[in-house]
Structure 1
Amino acid sequence: MVTFNYETSFELQGENLLEYWIDTVVSEEGFSIGEINYIFCDDEYLHKLNVEFLQHDTLTDVISFDNTLGKLISGDIYISVERVEDNAKDFEVSFLDELHRVMIHGVLHYMGYKDKSEEEKIKMRNAENKALSEFK
């Protein structure tokens, strides 16, 4: 089950379509969804989590807390809508394209994708691009 929660005035359109897309991506990787909670918030909200839980005193677009067990993925994915909006401008992409990338990025982490090394970043970006191409 995928749920969408809001700690800001932002609200997604087409939640059912997004849930179907996420489930498809997860299934194609040989996993299934337990419970994924998306929490959309602002910079201040996510910054507090970043400091408290990760000891990072920086702004970020997404933080995911992984509760995956084997092939059953679960967790909480916090997304700063403000950060996504700024990043979309910086990367010269639409807000929705950047939002969808961040949304699937958290899920890909649950399935074992990492992004610390350059090689890992390339694999993550390729997986993001593949997932995004299936949404359109």
Structure 2
Amino acid sequence: MVRVPSPESTSRIRRRVASLLIVCACSALLLSACGRNHDSSSSSSPSASGTSAGLSGPEETVALYRANCISCHGAELQGMMGDASDLRKVGAHLTKEQIQAQIVGGGSLMPPFKDKLSEAEVESLAEWLAGQK
């Protein structure tokens, strides 16, 4: 004898499957989100001017950017998460202090870096990014 599930049972199963798919999608999004921290010593060495990926600036700052920011903001500051992540002209509309606050506290999609970067690193990134006009 074949057992046919009731409509209530089928509906409950569909809701559970849909919930599971939503949780999996959200988890995948969070795991691929900004803030990957790569060991910069294992990366290829940038040139003194940091121009190997189209970026110019202090070598240590560019290396810091590559280690912490490139996955969401792109190799050339072009942004990988939509217009809000485009940093090519960020200094034209945000001050150094506003950029520092964003790095430390995060934003709508951006995670906070207050526990990942030192004050000096945040200062260096903010100063460099404020010059992107």
Q: Which band: TM-score by shorter chain?
A: under 0.3
Q: Output the TM-score relative to the length of structure 1.
A: 0.25
Greater radius of gyration (CA): 2
Is the strand fraction higher in 1 or 2?
1
Q: Output the TM-score relative to the length of structure 2.
A: 0.25
